[in-house]
Amino acid sequence: MRTSSIKLNPIIKNQIGKTFSQLICDFKSPEEVDKFLKVFFNESEYETFIKRLAVAYWLKKNRSYSNIKTNLKVSSATIASIQNTLDSEGIKIAIKKLEADEWANIWAEKIKKIVKGK
């Protein structure tokens, strides 16, 4: 899938961006979002996107550059670039949501063990 190098009018770009954001909010499940994104991103774009999110998350978890490079197969330059965005509001929101989900999953497992033990 090839995109044009001609830039959109900023007003139209803003309107389309808001529509896209609302569309993402309207999906009912992660599976629906995944199906949608995989249609519009080619495999490489999709992988790049999810790797960048993982890099941000792992940097917040204080993983080393070496660990991130080895596990996610990204360059030091990519890690450094993402590290420079960690204070942006969008990344902070995403990390907070990922951490809340991680916390909920940990507690769900603990509760399952307690209930099974009875």
Same domain, yes or no, for 78 and 23?
no
- Per-residue pLDDT band for 3 (boundaries 50, 70, 90) equals low
More confident residue, 67 or 115: 67
Same domain, yes or no, for 68 and 84?
yes
Q: Is residue 103 part of a domain?
A: yes
Number of compact structural domains in the chain: 2
Same domain, yes or no, for 87 and 105?
yes
Same domain, yes or no, for 58 and 109?
yes
Distance CA 95, CA 73 (A): 21
Convert the pLDDT of each residue in 25-73 to its tens digit: 999 999 999 999 999 899 999 999 999 999 999 999 999 999 999 999 9
**Angle (CA) 105 88 49, round 5°:** 60
- Per-residue pLDDT band for 115 (boundaries 50, 70, 90) equals confident
H or E element, residue 33: helix 30-40
**What's the domain range around 34?**
8-40
Q: Is residue 1 part of a domain?
A: no
Please report, for residues 34, 55, 69, the alpha-carbon distance to residue 102 in angstroms, rounded to integers and kept in the order given.
Answer: 19, 16, 22
User: Which of 65, 95, 89 is closest to 79 using CA atoms?
Assistant: 65
pLDDT of residue 14: 95
Annotate 34-102 with DSSP letters as a single string. HHHHHHHS-HHHHHHHHHHHHHHHHHHTT--HHHHHHHH---HHHHHHHHTTTTSHHHHHHHHHHHHHH
Convert the pLDDT of each residue in 61-96 to its tens digit: 999 999 999 999 999 999 999 999 999 999 999 999
